[in-house]
Structure 1
Amino acid sequence: MEKQCYQSTEVNFGIFNNAQNTTVNGGDFSVAGRDVNMYKTYHYLSSNEEKKIQDWLAAPDCFTNYSTTLNKQVAGTGQWILKEPAYLQWKEIGGILWIQGQAGSGKTFLITGVIEHFRKASFPTFMIYHYFDICDNSEAKTTFQGLLLSFLLQLGAQDQNIHPALKNLHEASKSGLLHFQPTNTELVNTLIEITKDLVQKGYQIHIMIDALDECKEEEEVWNFCVKMTSLTSIGIMITSRYKS
């Protein structure tokens, strides 16, 4: 199935958690900064240990979606969203920002532009992202577990560093205390533990999820997002097609 892109001039923003629903008109549609304190939170990994963690999680590679979209994107596409009150409110107070649009209206280009904006950020923030993709042959990008594995790898193990919570989960799996592949509940609990720890240490966390409608388990993803924002002051951006 080939994805097609069309131009659109309207996108609906729904902001949840102490915010209002708004409709924004405008524009044609056609990992974040770190500081030295991060390395006081994470444990060092050798390159061999890092590969073992990556192989164990076997998370889907969403960087390919990000880089492919970015390379196709015309400079400045979708930058108008960065000045919209709905977006600025979400960036400041967190919660869930849900962007809906027609199929092919350019939602992936829009969220990729926001991801790129956060990747260039100099303030202490963690930004993680996931692209649901029905064109992915492995089907890992169409499941809730694929999202959890993707997020855990991005948030828990980066640049040859690992968060203690992820290290503990890995050690428990190796010792036989858990299944070799953690359950969704274990993945969620570990993500919550890492997120709470980082927020308590003053980091902002923003999560980007593209094409929720291409996930086989939309309700599980939505419930996860609600749970995350209810427990921690983070911001989650979701794009999807209009609901019928």
Structure 2
Amino acid sequence: MIIFVPLKCFWGLKLDRNFLGAQDVTIGDLTINQVTGNQHNVIVKDPVDLSKIKDWLKTPDSSSNFVSAVNKMTEGTGVWLVQNPQYQNWKENHGVMWLQGRAGSGKTFLLTTVVQDLGKDGKLVFYHYFDFRDGPKTTYSGLLSSLLFQIGSLVAEGQMQALYKQSKQSQITDAAKKAFIMNNIPTGIKMYIVLDAFDECQDQNQVAKFIQELQNQASVHIIVSCRYAVQSVTSSEMLLLNDKNVADDIGQHIDRIFDEGKISFLSMKNEIKNVLLEGANGV
């Protein structure tokens, strides 16, 4: 397998100081050929199956949260967010967008809509769902593993293969994971990171610091949902979920239930809908 990568991505490899002048360097299962400047061809001998690397990283699977949310969503809900001027501004300009709303206000569905919107536009998007029901998903280490594996699988597989082979399968540190992520942020391409339910993260100080470091990268756009504001994270955009937007989404979901015949009292549709909306109060 041959991958075209910048030299900076090979942090942690024991390279000779004369590497830049060499035309052909072999390090274990890796053969690195200089092409021009700091660009190199990397030949990985016998690449490892990605599932082994995923297991080695102990990567929590946020795709299960994404799929679960998509399956429960009603078409048309969340459209107001992707049409919101603040959201549009965040898409164009790097920084952090903070989506704040109380429990049950639909933040997970909204950020799932964001992932879909970015994917539809062909953006480079990575996501993580903090989830108190799944311990590893709530940790700083779990977040790093999640982002490392996604970035490695999509835009830096050669570097991730090299990392795995050089580690000789020993346990990887959080510092090494973070370094890999920071060293493999694409240049000249907008990169989007979607983080849901920050309030369910048990390592909030570490994650907040990491978010701050990420947003210093000119190409990185981050959107975070949370029940409350976090002073240690500087956001370029803050969007508070209001009852009207939440009620509109809940109303569309209730309409779908009626349309699918799951509630048969059509003559009382409006009355039932109003009672449910009042009872939900944004939940």
Measured on the aligned residues, the alpha-carbon RMSD in Å equals 2.3
**Which of 162, 165, 178 does residue 171 from structure 1 map onto?**
165
Amino acid at match of 1:85: P
Partner of residue 77, structure 1: 77
- Cα 1:154/1:45, change in 2 over 3 Å: farther
Deviation at 1:49, TM superposition (A): 2.4
Show the counterpart of 2:181.
191
Paired position in structure 2 for 1:114:
114
1:80–1:57 distance in 2 versus 1, CA, 3 Å: same
Alignment of 1:76-155 (within 5 A): 76-122=76-122, 125-136=123-134, 139-155=135-151
* Separation of aligned partners in 2, 1:224 and 1:115: 21
State the alpha-carbon separation in 2 of the partners of residues 75 and 104 from structure 1: 18
**Which residue of structure 2 aligns with residue 213 of structure 1?**
199
Is 1:224 paired with 2:175? no
SS at match of 1:157: helix
C-alpha displacement at 1:56, in angstroms? 1.2
- Runs (5+) with no aligned partner, structure 2: 6-41, 231-283
State the identity as a percent: 35
Q: Is the 8 Å Cα contact of residues 59 and 153 (structure 1) preserved in structure 2?
A: yes
Q: Deviations over 1:150-206 (max 9, x none)?
A: 001111124xx743432332122117xxxx2211111111100011xx1x2x32100
Change (3 A) 1:193 1:78: same
Q: Quote the Cα distance in structure 1 between the aligned partners of 2:88 and 2:150.
A: 24
Q: Secondary structure at the match of 1:235?
A: strand
Cα deviation per residue 1:62-116 (whole Å; 9 max; x = unaligned)?
0000000011000011111112111111111110001110011100010000101
Give the direction of change, closer, same or farther, for the CA distance of 1:45–1:73 in structure 2 (3 Å limit). Answer: farther
Residues 94 and 218 in structure 2, CA contact (< 8 A), matched pair in contact too:
no
1:45 positional shift: 9.1
Q: Take 1:233 and 1:48, find their aligned partners in 2: how far apart are those partners?
A: 30
Q: Distance in 1 between matches of 2:129 and 2:43?
A: 28
Structure 1 runs of 4+ off > 3 angstroms? 39-48, 161-165
Name whichever of 48-57 and 85-94 sits farther off.
Answer: 48-57
SS in 1 for 2:184: helix
Conserved in 2, the CA contact under 8 Å of 1:209 and 1:237? yes
| TM-score, structure 1 normalization | 0.72
Structure 2 letter corresponding to 1:151: L
Q: What is the CA–CA distance in structure 1 between the aligned matches of 2:128 and 2:194, rounded to whole Å? A: 6
Contact 1:45–1:162 (Cα < 8 Å) also in 2? no
Query: How many residues align structurally?
Result: 192
Kindly provide the amino acid, as one letter, of the partner of residue 168 in structure 2. Answer: K
CA contact (8 A) 1:143 1:215 kept: yes
Which has the greater radius of gyration? 2
TM-score by length of 2: 0.63
Q: Comparing both chains, which one has the higher relative contact order based on Cα–Cα distances under 8 Å and sequence gaps of 6 or more?
A: 1
d(CA) in 2 for partners of 1:115 and 1:46?
33
Question: Given the alignment, which residue of 171, 176, 182 partners 2:172?
Answer: 182
Q: Which whole-Å CA distance do the structure 1 matches of 2:45 and 2:82 have between them?
A: 36
Work out the CA distance in 2 between the residues paired with 1:205 and 1:242.
25
| Residue aligned with 1:75, SS | coil
Note if contact 1:128-1:208 (Cα within 8 Å) is conserved in structure 2. yes
